[in-house]
Amino acid sequence: MGSLTQHKLPVIDLTEENLKSTSDSWLTICKNVTRALEEYGCFTAVYDKVSVDLHNAVFHALEELFDLPTETKVQNKSKKPLYGYVGQIPFIPLYESMGIDDSNTPEGIQNFTKVMWPSGNESFSETLLSYAKLAVELEQKVVKMVFESYGVQKYYESHTKSATYLSRVMKYRGPKEGETNLGFVSHTDKDFVTILHQNQVDGLKIKAKDGEWFGVELLPSSFIVMAGEAAMAWSNGRLHSPHHRVIINGNEARYSTAQFSFMREIVQVPEELIDERHPLQFKPFDHLNFLEFYNKEENRRLECAIRTYCGV
Ligand SMILES: O=C(O)CCC(=O)C(=O)O
Ligand SMILES: [Fe+2]
């Protein structure tokens, strides 16, 4: 049955220029951001710090990366669960991805680059690092806004210090005749906040709370900001971590980047977010241990892994 609601993802202008010139107060914008993350679990952020040139450079760099032989790409490995190469999976044949740990630091990028190009690739490293730093800025801006709107800004600094970033870079090739167009299966992110960006090929689908799936169209200056299960637990269930998947229509390859934030320190619900109307829903948890838990075969299909892991 079709729904009467035509969902459209909220679009929030987070450019410096808009934040300076809008008649809305800072707190109003913070509340709009938080409301979008409560209602849809994500929104489209307009953010022009990533120039069109940098956007183009990132996706050229990713074409060069994915053109490497599979034997090289599978060398992207990590001790951490879910951090390395993913691809060659029969039920999602279009999908391939690699993880760059600490992508916002020169060391993180270099560690990745030297595995892919043992003799170095300065332009790849520079491009990806510049991009990751700006994506982290966007993530931190959004997290600050959420903390302020909940009146818990006093925890913002320690939260930021605890955050580490993983960039997952992805390629979805166009489907061949008769092949599935499912790019990636429905899932929720397991991190705190994800920043998604893509080349000119759309494909991301979001599941609204009423169960309806809807598509997202993105410009080079727009990013999807999405709450992961860790943010949902931290907010004591206020923020929504949405199911999403990727469907590829047409033959053009889609490239995208997902920047995930993971916490080094124990994550816990601020006491300000617990009261009679909002009793504690999640015990304090270790983010990396949660990933280990989710990585186990028997836990991969849980409806809400974080609730099973540390729900009260
Ligand atoms: O490619 C995309 O737009 C989404 C990727 C995604 O959902 C993920 O890596 O968790
Ligand atoms: Fe995702």
Could you give the domains of the chain? 11-310 (2.60.120.330)
Check pLDDT > 80 for residue 176: yes
Please compute the mean of the pLDDT values over residues 263-277 and round it to a whole number: 97
- 3-state class of 121 per DSSP? coil
CA dihedral angle for residue 117, residue 104, residue 50, residue 40, rounded to 10 degrees: 120
Please compute the mean of the pLDDT values over residues 132-142 and round it to a whole number: 98
At residue 2, the pLDDT reads 53
C-alpha 95/C-alpha 180 separation (Å) is: 11
- Provide the pLDDT confidence category of residue 23 given band limits of 50, 70 and 90: confident
Choice between 21 and 34, residue whose per-residue pLDDT is larger: 34
Q: What is the pLDDT of residues 59-118, one digit of tens each?
A: 999 999 999 999 999 999 998 988 999 999 999 999 999 999 999 999 999 999 999 999
Q: Residue 166: CB within 6 Å of ligand 1? A: no
Check pLDDT > 70 for residue 30: yes
Provide the 10 A C-beta neighbour count for residue 293: 20
pTM of the model: 0.96
- Provide the pLDDT confidence category of residue 228 given band limits of 50, 70 and 90: very high
Check pLDDT > 80 for residue 149: yes
- Provide the pLDDT confidence category of residue 4 given band limits of 50, 70 and 90: low
C-alpha 258/C-alpha 166 separation (Å) is: 8
Largest CA distance in the chain: 60
At residue 25, the pLDDT reads 87
Check pLDDT > 60 for residue 1: no
Between the CA of 196 and the centroid of ligand 1 the distance, in Å, is 7
Q: Residue 198: CB within 6 Å of ligand 1? A: yes
C-alpha 252/C-alpha 92 separation (Å) is: 16
Q: Residue 168: CB within 6 Å of ligand 1? A: yes
Q: Residue 196: CB within 6 Å of ligand 1? A: yes
pLDDT averaged over every residue in the chain: 96
Between the CA of 21 and the centroid of ligand 2 the distance, in Å, is 33
CB 257 within 8 A of CB 196: yes
Please compute the mean of the pLDDT values over residues 36-58 and round it to a whole number: 97
